[in-house]
Amino acid sequence: MMTDPSNSMHIISASRRTDIPAFYMPWFMRRLDAGLVSYPNPFGGQRCTVSLRPEHVHSFVFWSKNFASFLPHLDAIRDRDARFYCHYTITGAPRFIEPHVPDWEQGVDTFRALVEKTSPRHVQWRFDPILIAEGLTPEFYSARFRQIAQALSGLTERCYFSFASFYGKVERRLTQAGIRYNDPPLAEKHALIHTLADTAEQVGITLYACCQDDLIGGRVKQAHCVDGDLLAELFPDRPLVSAQRPTREACGCFASRDIGIYNTCVHGCVYCYANQSHAGAESRLDAHNVAGEMLVGT
């Protein structure tokens, strides 16, 4: 078993691997009360245990496509002296791409409610991934981005974006769904992002490129989705010593401990890299033990 050194403060990511705020908040609150959580290392499966006690955790980074189930727990999280910021993904993609994600208008309403309890600096908008496919043209994304950005004006300062990564399981899922897709050439990506940057600038939002080095420059900044510098600014009363530790090529994230488990999110997005199959994720959700030390299992 790997354990985290208890004499240093760490960042907890909850989670890139699943959607804890949408589907697993009762479990998370139990783990917060218990002061520790375990998860399998995705490379080899070794059990890892990390402290969630306030003296050991600098802050949490929450990731979700739907924070509605998170909101009722927000005050209780604060009462436990847990600091955090949120990545809220709202793309407005159609149902054949994101079958179980709330409509973007509903997402904006929840986003606003979350900001009202925190601040625009605590809630980051994610417009990712951008999947170019039949019916999902650059024109579609330009128009949808404009709608969402205007609705979020004054509610956030940052928008993180990426283009879809075509892992083998993602390609198989797209093919099985009959979705004709393509990875556009760099020039077409630049043209789309230039249009998005124009819109973002008009509403006071800065674009951040996640794992897209070729698109960084000018009005597009390097993303640090787990951003140690921002966390230190938001919570200066807690010492944080954290270096960048990329999780994949071109990643700008700082070191963190991700407590999620793959193949447990049931949003069913066809572009998802974290799930092998929707049926498998539903099965693991059914097997979830709210009292377990790990999200799935014991």
Please report, as a single letter, which amino acid is at residue 146.
R
pLDDT recorded at residue 298: 65
Reported as half-sphere exposure (CB side, CA atoms, 13 A), residue 213 has a value of 6
The alpha-helical segments, DSSP class H, found in the chain are: 20-23, 25-34, 74-79, 104-117, 138-151, 168-176, 186-202, 228-234, 278-287
* pLDDT, mean of residues 272-282: 92
pLDDT recorded at residue 240: 79
The model's pLDDT over 116-175, given as tens digits with 9 standing for 90+, comes to 999 999 999 999 999 999 999 999 999 999 999 999 999 999 999 999 999 999 999 999
Of 169-183, 193-207, 208-222, 242-256, which range is least confident?
Answer: 242-256
DSSP conformational letter for 148: H
Q: Is 188 a residue whose pLDDT tops 90? A: yes
Q: What is the mean pLDDT of the chain?
A: 93
Write the CA distances from 250 to 101, 167, 290, integer angstroms.
28, 16, 35
Quick one: how far is CA 84 from the chain centroid?
Answer: 13
Q: Is 79 a residue whose pLDDT tops 60? A: yes
Rounded Cα distance, 199 and 28, in Å: 37
Rounded Cα distance, 260 and 245, in Å: 18
pTM as predicted: 0.94
Rounded Cα distance, 168 and 155, in Å: 37
DSSP conformational letter for 38: E
pLDDT recorded at residue 3: 42
Rounded Cα distance, 5 and 234, in Å: 24
pLDDT recorded at residue 160: 98
Write the CA distances from 265 to 43, 295, 296, integer angstroms.
19, 11, 12
pLDDT recorded at residue 211: 86
pLDDT-based confidence at 45, cuts 50/70/90?
A: confident
pLDDT-based confidence at 249, cuts 50/70/90?
A: low
Q: Which of 100, 152, 95, 99 is nearest to 127 (CA)?
A: 152
Rounded Cα distance, 218 and 98, in Å: 31
Cβ-Cβ contacts under 8 Å for 243 (sequence gap 6 or more): 228, 254, 255
Q: Which of 2, 3, 8, 15 is nearest to 253 (CA)?
A: 15
Q: For the chain, what are the domain ranges?
A: 2-287
Q: Cα angle at 176 between 17 and 137, to 5 degrees?
A: 80
